[in-house]
Structure 1
Amino acid sequence: MPSNSRDHDPENVTVRDASFHLFRNLGFDRIFGNPGSTELPMFRDFPSDFQYVLGLSECSVVAMADGYAQASGRAALVNLHSAAGVGHAMGSIFTAYRNATPLVITAGQQARSMLPFEPYLYSVQATELPKPYVKWSCEPARAQDVPLALARAYCTAMQYPRGPVLVSVPADDWDARTSLVQAREIDFTIRPSAASVASIADALRKSSRPAFVVGSEVDRNGAWHQMVRLAEQQNALVWVAPASSRCCFPENHPLFAGFLPRSREGIVSALQGSDLVVVIGAPLFTYHVEGSGPHASDSAAIFHVTDDPNSAAWCPIGTSVVASIRAAVEDILAKGEPTKRAMPTGRPAPQPVSTGGSAIDVAAMLQVIADNRPANSIIVEEAPSIRGDIQNHLPCVRPGSFFTASSGGLGYSLPASIGIAMARTDASVIALIGDGSSMYSIQAIWTAVEHGLPITFVIANNHGYAALKKFARVFGMDGALGSDLKGIDFVALAQGQGCGGERVFTSDALKQALATASKRNAPYLIEVVLT
């Protein structure tokens, strides 16, 4: 029978029972992992009320947990194998850090009695290995302190700005004796000061052409609807900050202005007509190319509202306010006054594109998806070379309806869609992935099959790393070495893992394939061969 700490003396239980007792009380009911030898004692008599979600690589495992945490709004529990497993997972840990995703990661370690001899599969500096992309890491000095370390790890992961944490646990710690640790209630809400709110409200009142710039923290913090009301109260245009990983504002709203570029000159140009810019839930100055000149127009006052003190510290100009995003937006909304200024003109609605013809290009592919996706669909995207086209032809108009990686790293979104589908059983998940991106984590499809998740994987096959080819122009290059991909059969890769699929070459065929996928209670892969 699975062990249960409630059947034992609370002052004399195993570290394993105390840990699962804590996990249970913190609301965890599953562990994402790829097990190794040093983790096996953790799972002895695995509790029947927990689910083990197996991924076939550590990088995919962390991305699945990231997607689950992002979509559920709760921390996710991850188990990795010693140094090798943490090393394999580092790309996704980096993304989780940039995504501000609360992950509690346990990592295996060799038995304490072996540590002086640097044994096989030993993590030499277990707490240093994941830095700087974890908020906190710990290998407890005593076995009996493991549950306390896990309790602190959870609180640290959930504190804004949220993020991953890691606890390294020697293999023999799990059978040691300890006491139960109770889950604690902590309110992490930080309200902005009355003076800061008054300053922003006063600046909005005096402004003739204000603009808001919103970022991922708006959606992550549940402030989406409040942000819409604030924009409407002020009749102010709303831009999406560079490299945002979530849908922060309805992209069909009359006040939606568009997406800011990741360049200094581009941001200044886009915001040129505004005399006040209020940035909420993102760094405004996320650059991808070297630039010069001012960070913003000299005529524009800048306010920056963020839950990340570090972001506030490096922000080069303006007045920063560190606070919980939902609380800040609510307070500014309550202090603000309906404006008499005229309604500004937002981004023109993109025109539908033709989906006829004997071949299919990017715009036509996105138009077909937009026309045929369910109303409750969630788009999980990792196709950086066509992101501008996605923003034009596949608009997102609901909170929690779009996810991608804010890190710029590849290999996140395909496995993340699995975690998102687990957390959002009320929605249809469409994973729109580039051909190059998909190969970083294609084995994650196996987990989708094992759990019977009805995800539609759309592989946009343009035969290479097209984003890299485009970016080569920044350096005055005509192309990029090693950016062509040919001869990969994505349908065969899916079928080899038990997932149905088909290859399409036309818009009509894609429409039919999407209809087929929507009727299946299982994952389905559609490879779209693009012109």
Structure 2
Amino acid sequence: MTGSPKPVTVRDAVIDLLRKLGMTSVFANPGSTELPMFRDFPSDFRYVLGLQEAVVVGMADGYAQASRNASLVNLHSAAGVGNAMGNIFTAYKNRTPMVITAGQQARSILPFDPFLSSAQAAELPKPYVKWSIEPARAEDVPLAIARAYHMAMQEPRGPVLVSIPVDDWDRPAELVTPRAVSYEVRPEPVALEQVGAALDACERPAFVVGAAVDRAGAWDQVVALAERHSARVFVAPMSGRCGFPEDHRLFAGFLPAMREKIVTLLGGHDLILVLGAPAFTYHVEGSGPHVPAGAALYQLTDDAATAAWTPVGASVVGNLRLGVSDLLARRAPPVRPLPAPRTPRPVAVPAWPMSTAFVLQTLAGLRAAGDIVVEEAPSARPVMQGYLPMTRSGTFYTMDSGGLGYGMPAAVGVALARPGTRVIGLIGDGSSMYSIQAIWSAVQLKLPLTFVILNNARYAALQDFAPEFGFADTDPVQGTDLPGIDFVSLAKGLGCPGVRVSEAAALRDALSAALRSATPVLLEVEVE
């Protein structure tokens, strides 16, 4: 006689579901209430350890964006979710699909407010998750994770959270068969027809592209649409991805997050088409019109909430690739003359101390076009936009949120999702200290990752921004100087070789060697 079949547990059902969804990499930092999830850990799964919860979520963010599938995160109850909240906020703003499982104390002792419990587990991460739940019954956990996955993948994508009591994993459950769900919604044809007719009738169109262009795989379609209409193309303020080749004849530059400056830069255009971005993201209080006088604004966005608050113009909601493809299917309009080309930046020259422009110009000359840049150097970003152009889809990532601590772990996650591809983590000295532990994970994973730390010994973005809030040029800004940090020693302590470069003459050779390394290396570059 044969024995009775082994009963299916919640753990069995969840592992089976995750395998079928292609979510076999678990980004985690271990805690007691999560241990039963990992008993008899399957050999085809990978546990990616981060040394702090913010690092865990940052790695999962980069991995999900580069792999185009939801990533799986495991956090420890309330304390772990709390530590991770900064990068959960960033994942929400990045529209990154992510399923977060969080440990919870056993159901039987929850009425007694036990140690390491989460009193309102589903409420804790709000409002920066799309959906969160602590299932009413243990047997509901697999279905909750299935629903969470579909919620995370539906546009606009984003993180979700499922809180799982520690005693749920060994309870009986049923296997879940994944369903086929279409996540891309085609924009309404009549509304797109109005956009297309307006494009055909205008004389001087401008496009403003955002991160959703790259997220949706609409890069080639947007380039073709811009070329068809001879439209100048700007990048939207605070965009976390590159949506248009920055060496293209029609590329016009980057919009700042200031209303009056946006209106000035868009002046002279009679139609503005915003693709995959808010219209517009502002950073400081402004006044006056949102678009130049005489200009009509149209927006194609995957986010109905963004369309709802757009102050002027007409918005169409739907998938960017499908929408732009439908615009391209229209009859081509008469050929327009090309707009005036963008004025090139002056060549940066070597000096002591080195300028950030010289460093990034040198990096641009050495970097292969397919190398991926993950950036978190806010004060250097305007310089990067002039001296380190992004020319291919999927080669640039930064945070849409403005929160620090994303860049270093995200670079690890991107490198893990794109095996064999060179990833460059371009990080400011202040930013790096939020998630420096990510270096250890990169070393353990043996990734071809080059960390370039731009060390100006200060929170330069705050000092540069202070005049907007009434500081005189000579006024000190408290808490913004960062002297005495030795990044080479920090890297070596985490198992990563490091090199410091202070002289312009040594930069090229040091960068070349770092970009050839098959394993992680950190380059600390002292800049003015």
**Residue in structure 2 matched with residue 448 of structure 1 by the alignment:** 442
Distance 1:391 1:517 in 2: 22
Q: 1:196 aligns with which of 191, 195, 199?
A: 191
1:364-418 deviation line (CA, Å, top 9, x unaligned): 1111111111232111111101111000000000001111000000010111000
Q: Quick check: 1:459 aligned with 2:453?
A: yes
Q: 1:116 aligns with which of 93, 96, 111?
A: 111
1:440-519 matched pairs, under 5 angstroms: 440-477=434-471, 478-519=475-516
Name the aligned partner's letter for residue 79 of structure 2.
A
Distance 2:351 2:255 in 1: 33
Q: Quick check: 1:370 aligned with 2:364?
A: yes
Distance 1:350 1:220 in 2: 29
Q: Quick check: 1:413 aligned with 2:407?
A: yes
1:276-295 matched pairs, under 5 angstroms: 276-295=271-290
Q: Quick check: 1:527 aligned with 2:521?
A: no
Name the aligned partner's letter for residue 390 of structure 1.
M
Q: Quick check: 1:87 aligned with 2:91?
A: no
**Residue in structure 2 matched with residue 256 of structure 1 by the alignment:** 251
**Residue in structure 1 matched with residue 58 of structure 2 by the alignment:** 63
Distance 2:4 2:36 in 1: 19
1:208-256 deviation line (CA, Å, top 9, x unaligned): 1111111000001000011000000111111111100111100011101
SS of the aligned residue for 2:191 comes to helix
1:82/1:109 contact within 8 Å kept: yes
Name the aligned partner's letter for residue 430 of structure 1.
I
| 1:336 CA displacement | 4.7
**Residue in structure 2 matched with residue 3 of structure 1 by the alignment:** none
Q: Quick check: 1:154 aligned with 2:144?
A: no
Name the aligned partner's letter for residue 487 of structure 1.
G
Please list every run of 5 or more consecutive structure 1 residues that lacks an aligned counterpart in the other structure: 1-6
Q: 2:34 aligns with which of 35, 39, 53?
A: 39
1:302-354 deviation line (CA, Å, top 9, x unaligned): 11110001000011111010011100010011115143221112322323322
2:130/2:152 contact within 8 Å kept: yes
1:453-510 deviation line (CA, Å, top 9, x unaligned): 1111000000010001111111111332100001110000000011001100122322
Q: Quick check: 1:395 aligned with 2:389?
A: yes
Name the aligned partner's letter for residue 82 of structure 1.
S
SS of the aligned residue for 2:368 comes to coil
Distance 1:336 1:290 in 2: 42
Distance 1:507 1:158 in 2: 46
SS of the aligned residue for 1:459 comes to strand
SS of the aligned residue for 1:213 comes to strand
Distance 2:229 2:96 in 1: 31
Distance 1:393 1:512 in 2: 19
**Residue in structure 1 matched with residue 416 of structure 2 by the alignment:** 422
Name the aligned partner's letter for residue 466 of structure 1.
A
2:33/2:76 contact within 8 Å kept: yes
Name the aligned partner's letter for residue 178 of structure 2.
A
Distance 1:40 1:144 in 2: 18
Q: Quick check: 1:436 aligned with 2:430?
A: yes
Distance 1:375 1:397 in 2: 7
SS of the aligned residue for 1:168 comes to strand
1:180-329 matched pairs, under 5 angstroms: 180-329=175-324
The structure-2 alpha-carbon separation of the partners of 1:214 and 1:9, relative to structure 1 and needing over 3 Å to count, comes to farther
The structure-2 alpha-carbon separation of the partners of 1:336 and 1:65, relative to structure 1 and needing over 3 Å to count, comes to farther
SS of the aligned residue for 1:47 comes to coil
What TM-score does the superposition give when structure 2 sets the normalisation length? 0.97
Name the aligned partner's letter for residue 253 of structure 1.
H
| 1:9 CA displacement | 5.5
Distance 2:341 2:302 in 1: 28
Name the aligned partner's letter for residue 442 of structure 1.
I
2:213/2:219 contact within 8 Å kept: yes
- Name which of structure 1's ranges 297-306 and 164-173 shifts more when overlaid on structure 2: 297-306
Distance 1:461 1:339 in 2: 51
**Residue in structure 1 matched with residue 49 of structure 2 by the alignment:** 54
SS of the aligned residue for 2:298 comes to strand
Distance 1:67 1:315 in 2: 28
Distance 1:29 1:507 in 2: 44
Please list every run of 5 or more consecutive structure 2 residues that lacks an aligned counterpart in the other structure: none
Q: Quick check: 1:385 aligned with 2:415?
A: no
The structure-2 alpha-carbon separation of the partners of 1:186 and 1:411, relative to structure 1 and needing over 3 Å to count, comes to same
Name the aligned partner's letter for residue 225 of structure 2.
L
Name the aligned partner's letter for residue 206 of structure 1.
A
SS of the aligned residue for 1:442 comes to coil
| 1:201 CA displacement | 1.0
| 1:198 CA displacement | 1.1
Q: 2:20 aligns with which of 18, 25, 33?
A: 25
1:55/1:61 contact within 8 Å kept: yes
1:215/1:282 contact within 8 Å kept: yes
The structure-2 alpha-carbon separation of the partners of 1:8 and 1:265, relative to structure 1 and needing over 3 Å to count, comes to farther
Name the aligned partner's letter for residue 510 of structure 1.
L
SS of the aligned residue for 1:278 comes to strand
2:448/2:520 contact within 8 Å kept: yes
SS of the aligned residue for 1:525 comes to strand
SS of the aligned residue for 2:169 comes to helix
Name the aligned partner's letter for residue 528 of structure 1.
V
Question: Across the two proteins, how many residue pairs are aligned to each other?
Answer: 523
Distance 1:379 1:130 in 2: 29
Distance 2:332 2:430 in 1: 49
